[in-house]
Structure 1
């Protein structure tokens, strides 16, 4: 029985194979036509000569009938020399109207919207008052305790502002030792820095007026920098630079390293100042923001008079340097 089944299979197997058309096996097939990369937009125009339009071959027409060729013009062969970069802007992108919405809604309707957009993105005027330092200063060597204030206010926009600064210090129960007020015009000269110019008036220790030229802003690595030159009405040229950095320990607990240095181009005997670097004050302040607008702090600061200024302090019976413990508050509104 098994032998009969094998014999029947051997007889029927050649039948399907015999039905196939093998006439083309012995002949060489025609090569497929090459694709026209210029016509499909794969190459830049300068590499494609002027060619005559031709009808698509049946082979290509049948094989690509379902393909969407609309995006071929936007494709760029990056391996081809002279290919346009990805950042290239098509010329037609700049051919339209400046305000396309005017064609739909009309210029009268869109002009107020554009003014409001400009005002909300740099054109609005705002103001702020910042009390950067309001602190008691307790010397660690047992000297007289004192106080210090450092505040500023500004009003204006992102580019132009009026800035008012004041700072000073004194001893508790005594007179104010140093005080100054600055009125400045501030102009943005970059994304992070403002150029400031104006006047400074010192009511203490002696009445004196200065011209001011400085810069203020945010230096790389998030350092807040404020520096200025001062030319007094008596011809004295001095300078000051301050830098500070807010290091967040938590969202509310912030450690602030700060340094301030002062310079003088010449001796100022009436203020016991010598030429050169006159004073440097590095310090640390640790503040806790009970609210973003109100933060008490503690800290320590080293104050040192240098060079000829230190010599003048010693001659007057003063200690030219020393540490101070700080208790203060920072606030803004």
Structure 2
């Protein structure tokens, strides 16, 4: 056995160089005898100054893969990240500096997206560079939330208050802020006003228009308004008075009637009148009225031609003014105004003024020229229902000029104040 073992020693020594060659790169050969691997254009030996950090032989070169034992050379625009995470002084020629910024090491196998950027002064107020297109250095602004970038950074908004805003363009509703309404195209107004006139006959169109008017606005309505129906008391004498009116017709044309008068309980009727008028609306709030008036007085009756207006003036004043030309050529006029002042939804105060004028003296009727009488009163009513309201009030009457003289000559006072209690109703 010893003899056989000694015979195997030369065989083992002879096989040792072959094992050394199969493990090349493990230190079996000396550096002096190692041969440099062949290089290709764009590839360099590992460890050189221009070598990348990739694995040898895996990074592609411009002409293809680098041969074994070489790596791709770093291009001029590439960044060296082999020393990332270490405190390194920024090179003089580097465009970015991150040496003063503490940062964590990137995950293994990933490149840091902030490599090469100078963030050492991040979070500090810096003056805008001279070449910056926007300046916000003089604008007070809040600090952006932690971890977020201010969306207005770099914009000069100091003069925003003086910016010229687009002009307001009136719209159909005249409501500022709505988008402007463009005018209709020129072709929209071409052609006939009513295309149906070209299809149907004139008789058919006239009949259709009459039906349209009758069904959309030409409605007949009627109303009766008893504005005053009251008992009066003046100087111990009790009397009564009324003032009522009504109408029948449509929105434009109406038949209108009016009646008013006064007298004493147990005595004769002092005065009464009745008017029959044609009324036509000439504005949304006023009507023109004309017709006849019949007046009854103990001194003598009169029939007058009436011309006047009636309507609702601005601020909700109800006006009624008319001129009267009698069958004897006497010209008189009268104007009334009243206003409903709501104290509550049901309690209403109604001031009222009435003025009577005459163009000449009428001794038979006790009327003088000019301003003949002035009547001022106020009535406070409570609307149990809108259509029914009792009231109390006071009324002052004064005669002027020749009218006062005629009243005194007949034994009447030129001035009196009366208390009234009555009912106002309409249906």
1:195 aligns with 2:271: no
C-alpha RMSD of matched pairs (Å): 3.4
Q: Matched residues in 2 for 1:287 and 1:212: separation?
A: 31
**Equivalent residue number for residue 127 of structure 1:** 222
Match of 1:260 among 341, 354, 360: 354
**Equivalent residue number for residue 85 of structure 2:** 9
Alpha-carbon deviations, 1:79-131, whole Å to 9, x = none?
6xxxxx94653135545986899xxxxxxxx9999877644653111000111
Q: Which runs of 5+ in 1 are unaligned?
A: 1-5, 21-76, 80-84, 102-109
Q: Kindly tell me: are residues 199 and 95 of structure 1, through their superposed partners in 2, closer, same or farther at Cα, counting changes over 3 Å?
A: same
Q: Matched residues in 1 for 2:349 and 2:215: separation?
A: 33
Alpha-carbon deviations, 1:281-323, whole Å to 9, x = none?
1000011111111111100000111111011111221111111
Aligned residue-pair number: 259
Q: TM-score, normalised by structure 2?
A: 0.55
Q: Kindly tell me: are residues 17 and 313 of structure 1, through their superposed partners in 2, closer, same or farther at Cα, counting changes over 3 Å?
A: closer
- Structure 2 residue matching 1:242: 3-state secondary structure: strand
**Equivalent residue number for residue 30 of structure 2:** none
**Equivalent residue number for residue 225 of structure 1:** 319
Q: Matched residues in 2 for 1:88 and 1:95: separation?
A: 18
Which structure is larger by alpha-carbon Rg, 1 or 2? 2
Q: Matched residues in 2 for 1:9 and 1:328: separation?
A: 103
Q: Matched residues in 2 for 1:202 and 1:330: separation?
A: 24
Alpha-carbon deviations, 1:219-258, whole Å to 9, x = none?
1110000000000000000000000000111111110000
**Equivalent residue number for residue 49 of structure 1:** none
**Equivalent residue number for residue 147 of structure 1:** 240
Alignment of 1:69-88 (within 5 A): 86=180
Q: Kindly tell me: are residues 261 and 18 of structure 1, through their superposed partners in 2, closer, same or farther at Cα, counting changes over 3 Å?
A: closer
Q: Matched residues in 2 for 1:267 and 1:209: separation?
A: 18
Q: Matched residues in 1 for 2:279 and 2:342: separation?
A: 29
- Structure 1 residue matching 2:403: 3-state secondary structure: helix
Q: TM-score, normalised by structure 1?
A: 0.69
Q: Which runs of 5+ in 2 are unaligned?
A: 1-81, 89-104, 117-164, 168-178, 197-204
- Structure 2 residue matching 1:145: 3-state secondary structure: strand
**Equivalent residue number for residue 365 of structure 2:** 271
Greater fraction strand: 1
Alpha-carbon deviations, 1:123-155, whole Å to 9, x = none?
11100011111111111x33x211111111100
110-119 vs 148-157, which moves further: 110-119
Match of 2:375 among 274, 281, 287: 281
- Structure 2 residue matching 1:273: 3-state secondary structure: coil
Higher relative contact order (CA 8 A, sep 6+): 1
| Cα drift, residue 157 of structure 1 | 0.6
- Structure 2 residue matching 1:258: 3-state secondary structure: strand
Alignment of 1:98-113 (within 5 A): none
Write out the 4+ residue segments of structure 1 that deviate beyond 6 Å after TM superposition.
15-20, 96-101, 110-117
Q: Matched residues in 1 for 2:288 and 2:340: separation?
A: 23
Alignment of 1:212-251 (within 5 A): 212-251=306-345
Q: Matched residues in 2 for 1:267 and 1:18: separation?
A: 109
**Equivalent residue number for residue 253 of structure 2:** 160
Match of 2:297 among 191, 196, 204: 204
| Cα drift, residue 202 of structure 1 | 1.2
